[in-house]
A = this chain, B = another copy of it.
Amino acid sequence: MTTDPFHPQKRPSRLGSVGHMEKLEASTLDALDAICRLRRFEPGQTVVLDGERPEFIGCVRSGYLRMQKTLADGRQHMVGLLVEGDMFGHMFNGPIKFALEAATEAEIWAFQRAPFEDLLLHAPDLERAVILNILNELDRARDWMVILGNNRVTGRIAGFLLVLCNRFFGVDHLLRIGSGSVDVKVPIGRHDLANLLGTRPESLSRAFHALADSGAIELLKPDLIRIRDVSALAAEAGEDAMDENAHLRGLLQLLKKRA
């Protein structure tokens, strides 16, 4: 049972406050209400198959989805993570080129494709939101490239943790800001993370503990990491100068205030 029976919502409460959808007009939101269903997925469950053209357009309400390409030899390589507010199953473009799987328990707003695309033609604000979402994804994909280009595993981990900070900023059950430190929940296991960062679980483990020994982070649990020194991480990661730092600065400020 991959879908939940009808759960039409009078008003997708989070829909209007997430991602690039916050600026949609009331009439557009109403129209979206009428064609959306809430679907729920269990960890490991497939949301969209590789190469399938999903019959709906989705927007993540909670949880994480992993995007993964299937390689010719059957292995899978993750190419990104979808979190709260991210959309998928984009129109214009035929089938998607990667599989989507729930990494955790996840809720998805599913919009019926035909009416959504119809609405798109008549609601410039929605179209704009969709395009911004795509451009956002593009920027993030390029950020990943920089991170993956780092030749030390510790550097890639550092970059990954900083990305988590940026993306989970404000989602408080994922990122908890304490006095002088930030706790981040790593949404995926070592195996998947190794896959994402182009390495092996063993190397990951060693690198995590190396970062811990250096004092930059602390391993509260395998999947719960306390960041003690953001700038040390940024230095490890060889962070890019443009967009990351803007977010990081905000994070650092917050840390100072609470310290």
A interface, CB within 8 angstroms of B? 50-51, 67, 69-73, 75, 77, 79-80, 90, 92-93, 97-98, 128, 131-132, 134-135, 137-139, 141-142, 144-146, 148-151, 195-199, 234-235, 238-243, 245
Contact among B69, B141, B243 with A141 in the assembled complex (CB-CB below 8 Å): B141
Contact among B79, B93, B97 with A132 in the assembled complex (CB-CB below 8 Å): B93
Residues of B within 8 A of A235 (CB): 72-73
Q: Are A92 and B50 in contact (CB under 8 A)?
A: no
Q: Are B71 and A199 in contact (CB under 8 A)?
A: no
Q: How far is the CA of A243 from the CA of B196 in the complex (A)?
A: 20
Contact among B80, B150, B199, B240 with A142 in the assembled complex (CB-CB below 8 Å): B80
Residues of B within 8 A of A80 (CB): 142, 145
Q: How far is the CA of A109 from the CA of B239 in the complex (A)?
A: 33
Q: How far is the CA of A10 from the CA of B231 in the complex (A)?
A: 54
Q: How far is the CA of A50 from the CA of B151 in the complex (A)?
A: 24
* CB of A131, distance to nearest CB on chain B (Å): 5
Q: Which of A93, A144, A196, A240 has the most CB of B within 10 A?
A: A240
CB-CB nearest in chain B for A150: B198
Contact among B71, B151, B197 with A238 in the assembled complex (CB-CB below 8 Å): B71
Residues of B within 8 A of A149 (CB): 77, 148, 195-198
Q: Are B151 and A198 in contact (CB under 8 A)?
A: yes
Residues of B within 8 A of A151 (CB): 198-199
Q: Are A239 and B77 in contact (CB under 8 A)?
A: no
* CB of A161, distance to nearest CB on chain B (Å): 15
Contact among B92, B195, B199, B240 with A70 in the assembled complex (CB-CB below 8 Å): B240
Provided the pairs A80-B142, A145-B148, A195-B149 are in contact, do residues A242 and B131 lie with their beta carbons within 8 angstroms? no
Besides A70-B242, A97-B139, A145-B145, 6 other A-B contacts (C-beta < 8 A): A72-B239, A77-B145, A79-B142, A79-B145, A98-B142, A150-B198
